[in-house]
């Protein structure tokens, strides 16, 4: 009955007059572009620069660190599901330390930090750190989806 009253009152409410249409935007005059003259061919080829291969980055993940990272993430997720956010944060911290280029480790660590800071309504240090970790996780892998958003087949 209440819903019918709300719908009926909305239908019978005075309507505002239609807004005046916006005037069309003036078109820009076409600018004639001069024909490009062909560039002269270089007389001598530029000397080739000797390029040395870049040294391996210290932050690249090795197979051992990837498996250690995943083990810590799995342990952290188990603790997180049980509501043990401090324990989960410790596991995610270990995963993040093992592979700082892991979007999953950064995201889950950020989420654990957020859950620890969640009782506080204001922006505290845990929420600030969570914000930074979420931004880093997104910059590392914009397509990352946490496990609770994946379809189970």
In a domain, 122, yes or no: yes
Q: How many domains does the chain have?
A: 1
Higher pLDDT: 122 or 91? It is 91
Give the integer Cα–Cα distance in Å for 75 and 90. Answer: 10
Provide CB contacts within 8 A for 141, sequence distance 6+: 103
Instruction: Give pLDDT, residue 66.
Output: 73
Q: Is residue 120 part of a domain?
A: yes
Confirm whether 10 is domain-assigned.
Answer: no
At residue 90, the pLDDT reads: 95
* Burial bucket for residue 21 (CB in 10 Å: 0-12, 13-18, 19+): exposed
CATH of the domain at 118: 1.25.40.10
Residue 2 burial class via C-beta count within 10 angstroms: exposed 0-12, middle 13-18, buried 19 and up = exposed
**Alpha-carbon distance values, 146 to 1, 60, 86, 112, 143 (Å):** 43, 22, 19, 13, 10
Question: Contact 76/95 with Cβ under 8 angstroms?
Answer: yes
CA distance 98 to 91: 11
42 located within any domain: no
Q: Residue 90: which domain range? A: 63-141
First to last CA, the chain: 44
Give the model's confidence band at 6: pLDDT under 50 very low, under 70 low, under 90 confident, else very high: very low
Give 2's contacts (C-beta < 8 A, 6+ positions apart): none
1 in any annotated domain = no
pTM greater than 0.75 (yes/no): no
Encode pLDDT of 41-75 as tens digits. 555 544 444 444 433 434 455 666 678 889 999 99
90 in a domain, yes or no? yes
Q: Is residue 50 part of a domain?
A: no
Q: How far, in whole angstroms, is CA 140 from its chain's centroid?
A: 8
Q: Does residue 23 fall inside a structural domain? A: no
């Amino acid at each position: 009955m209440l819903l019918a009253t709300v719908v009926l009152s909305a239908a019978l409410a005075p309507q505002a007059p239609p807004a005046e249409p916006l005037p069309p935007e003036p078109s820009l005059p076409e600018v004639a572009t001069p024909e490009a003259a062909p560039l002269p061919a270089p007389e001598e080829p530029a000397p080739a620069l000797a390029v040395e291969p870049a040294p391996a980055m210290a932050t690249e993940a090795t197979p051992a660190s990837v498996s250690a990272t995943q083990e810590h993430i799995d342990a952290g997720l188990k603790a997180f599901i049980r509501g043990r956010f401090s324990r989960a944060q410790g596991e995610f911290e270990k995963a993040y330390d093992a592979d700082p280029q892991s979007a999953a480790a950064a995201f889950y660590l950020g989420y654990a930090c957020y859950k620890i800071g969640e009782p506080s309504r204001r922006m505290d240090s845990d929420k600030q750190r969570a914000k930074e970790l979420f931004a880093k996780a997104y910059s590392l892998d914009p397509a990352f989806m946490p496990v609770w958003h994946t379809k189970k087949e």
